[in-house]
Structure 1
Amino acid sequence: MIAAIMQPYLLPYIGYFQLIAAADVFVIYDDVQYMRGGWINRNRILLNGAPHWLTLPVEHSGEVRTQIRDTRYQLTEANLKKLSGQLDAAYRKAPRAAAVRPLLEAILATRDPNVAGFNAAAIGAVRQALGIGTKIVRASEIGRDTSLTGQAAVIDICRRLGADHYVNAAGGVDLYAGEAFAAQGLRLSFIRSQAPPYRQFAEPFVANLSIADVLMFCGPDQLAEQVAAYNLVAA
């Protein structure tokens, strides 16, 4: 069984969903520290031909170390209206706007202010729209040893799930050692995205935007190609 683990990002890019597709079980890492300025509560969309931040504000408790599962969005009508307006301004003329808008509206209609809950629901909805059948669980639900961090925590999660193969994003190549995984009976691989450019409004192509961008411009066949455009490299 292949496992993959990632923090819950807001409408993440296609590589995130490729990682989900590469696994049999995908773990949403919700019981680790919330980091400001990352991808958890924001992503980028294409507005007027350039990347533009799409952000959903969070409530800051003042705690120095707050876990993602304990962080809450400011789900005010004003914030949700702004987010919806930005998506509409960016993509109202996109070829798939009419087909994709109901999905985005359903995501924004989620009234769970918990960041992990909201993002997990959004990720699950997009996963279904992309035809990915991978099981998704939250790290906080599997009874893991929360005293462990880094590589040791990942190995612990894999063992608790019964996985024998762990796949990580390519950015973690310097964080994990194949020998440490092998000592626990685990294979370690890294995913390399090869998602091809697709036609946006105009040239040049802007890569690695939110999955909302991919959905707005790619039909079903192209979406399938985008999801499948990766390979696994052994550690």
Structure 2
Amino acid sequence: MIAEPPGQRIACVHQPHYLPWLGLIDKIDRSDVYVVLDTVQFERRGWQNRNYIAGESGRQLLTVPVIQTARDERILDKQIDNTQKWRTKHLRALLNHSYRSAPHLDEYREEISRLYEQRWEHMVELSISTTLLILGAFGIDTPVVRASRLGEFTGRKSELIAQVCNAADADTLLSGDGARDYLDVDLLKQHGIEVEWQGFEHPVYPQRNGGSDGFTSHLAAIDLLFNAGPASLELLRSARRPL
């Protein structure tokens, strides 16, 4: 875990992901607040409306169809294409195919089913709901807030992140290592925001549908949940590198 100086408030600021992967769940667990960055442009072919689960013969991609309008449409405005029967397809893939014999499926079957029984109009609401489901099942109680509810932000890129952190009363940003190439650390410091790097290590755990080497990483976090159940958070935390 991150050693927190007195008064330090750590934020992770990240775009919403559908059925989020373990790297995002780890980052949220290590933060005092998760700010859902829903005010930026929706990424086509990104992870905001899709993710991988374990398939019978490798990874299976689940994609929520969205309505394509303007290329610069914001995440918070992106609508789901409900003319397609994606809810039935995804629920069957999770409960009846990929994880039908997973050891802990039955513990979460009812909650998963309720999520897919609802009609979702906007992608951000569905993505946040899948994240909250995972956080609750893992036992993570980090508050989740939407950037669009914190105010209007005029900055771009690193300046935007700094403004969001300030609005969330955070003085530290926990960032994934993939942002090292583009995050302007000096600019964030000018706004009073320190940066800590996540250094995520993916846990290895008993997995029903592993790959050729017995394990497939970088799947949706629900894979760990169905395979490890109440032990999921302990497994996630135990993989962290000591600081």
Q: Same fold by TM-score, threshold 0.5 exceeded?
A: yes
**Other structure's SS at 1:194 match:** coil
Amino acid at match of 2:203: P
Distance 1:130 1:221, change over 3 A: same
Deviation at 1:192, TM superposition (A): 1.5
* Residue 26 of structure 2 is aligned to residue 26 of structure 1: no
Task: Tell me if structure 2 keeps the 8 A contact 1:144–1:157.
Answer: no
Task: Tell me if structure 2 keeps the 8 A contact 1:110–1:118.
Answer: no
Alignment size in residue pairs: 231
**Other structure's SS at 1:3 match:** strand
Task: Tell me if structure 2 keeps the 8 A contact 1:47–1:90.
Answer: yes
RMSD: 1.8
What is the rounded CA distance, in whole Å, between the counterparts of 1:156 and 1:215 in structure 2? 34
Query: Which residue in 2 is equivalent to 1:99?
Result: 107
Deviation at 1:3, TM superposition (A): 0.7
Amino acid at match of 2:123: V
- Please, which runs of 5 or more residues in structure 2 have no aligned partner? 1-8
What is the rounded CA distance, in whole Å, between the counterparts of 1:111 and 1:228 in structure 2? 37
Amino acid at match of 1:229: A
**Other structure's SS at 2:103 match:** coil
What is the rounded CA distance, in whole Å, between the counterparts of 2:81 and 2:113 in structure 1? 17
Query: Which residue in 2 is equivalent to 1:184?
Result: 191
Task: Tell me if structure 2 keeps the 8 A contact 1:10–1:41.
Answer: yes
Deviation at 1:180, TM superposition (A): 2.3
Query: Which residue in 2 is equivalent to 1:42?
Result: 50
**What percent of counterpart residues are identical?**
27
Query: Which residue in 2 is equivalent to 1:175?
Result: 182
Deviation at 1:100, TM superposition (A): 2.4
Task: Tell me if structure 1 keeps the 8 A contact 2:41–2:74.
Answer: yes
Deviation at 1:15, TM superposition (A): 0.9
- Worse-superposed segment, 28-37 or 101-110: 101-110
Amino acid at match of 1:56: V
**Other structure's SS at 1:46 match:** strand
Runs of 4+ in 1 over 4 A off after TM superposition: none
Deviation at 1:165, TM superposition (A): 0.6
Aligned residue runs from structure 1 range 125-136, under 5 A: 125-136=133-144
* Residue 72 of structure 2 is aligned to residue 72 of structure 1: no
Aligned residue runs from structure 1 range 187-226, under 5 A: 187-201=194-208, 202=210, 203-226=213-236
Relative to total residues, which structure has the larger strand share, 1 or 2?
A: 1
- Worse-superposed segment, 205-214 or 175-184: 175-184
What is the rounded CA distance, in whole Å, between the counterparts of 1:190 and 1:49 in structure 2? 35
Amino acid at match of 1:92: R
**Other structure's SS at 1:143 match:** coil
139, 143, 147: which one aligns with 1:139: 147
Which TM-score applies when normalising by structure 2? 0.88
What is the rounded CA distance, in whole Å, between the counterparts of 2:25 and 2:115 in structure 1? 16
Deviation at 1:76, TM superposition (A): 4.8
150, 157, 163: which one aligns with 2:164: 157
* Residue 240 of structure 2 is aligned to residue 230 of structure 1: yes
Amino acid at match of 1:97: L
**Other structure's SS at 2:198 match:** strand
What is the rounded CA distance, in whole Å, between the counterparts of 1:232 and 1:58 in structure 2? 41
Task: Tell me if structure 2 keeps the 8 A contact 1:169–1:190.
Answer: yes
**Other structure's SS at 2:144 match:** strand
Which TM-score applies when normalising by structure 1? 0.91
What is the rounded CA distance, in whole Å, between the counterparts of 2:118 and 2:75 in structure 1? 17
Deviation at 1:130, TM superposition (A): 0.9
User: What's the CA shift string for 1:187-225, capped at 9, x where partnerless?
Assistant: 101112223211112542000101121111113124322
Query: Which residue in 2 is equivalent to 1:60?
Result: 68
Aligned residue runs from structure 1 range 76-91, under 5 A: 76=83, 78-87=85-94, 88-91=96-99
